[in-house]
Structure 1
Amino acid sequence: MSAPRTSLALCLQNTGYEVSLERRKLYRTIPDRAATRARMIRVVDETGDDYLYPASFFARLVLPIAVRRALLAAG
């Protein structure tokens, strides 16, 4: 089985999750159909653990492939 495709999202809001989420920070995300149906997003933190948060807290980024690869490699 292949690894899930990672994408990036920008945190816009962290109400109720101030300790866990930083506003204006880029986070890696993992596709999760069940979470999407529940209006949630699966986000990976600095430790490599993933958590569910309200999708409305984030803006998913659509970036050119080269930019996305560079950002993911740097992180």
Structure 2
Amino acid sequence: TKRITEEMKNTIKTLESHHDEIRNTFTTHYSNGPLEGSNNKIKAIKRASFGYRSFWRFRTRVLYVFKIKTKRALITK
């Protein structure tokens, strides 16, 4: 008889508890990739700038990089 290790039992238990979520990843075409890319770009701006003194300037820079054009976006305080 073969015995199942504790690690394998935990893996099976995890797969069973997240079965619906795992199935959804294969049946739908949604991805959080674009959102992760946006977050990464914002973090790169923060690293490159070594911190802005003004949040509004940082916000304006992020909006400029993403080419978001709004009248209120360009208002700095």
Assess same fold via TM > 0.5: no
Question: TM-score normalized by structure 2?
Answer: 0.20
Q: Which has the higher strand share?
A: 1
Higher relative contact order structure (alpha carbons within 8 Å, sequence separation ≥ 6): 1
Q: Which has the higher helix share?
A: 2
Question: TM-score normalized by structure 1?
Answer: 0.20
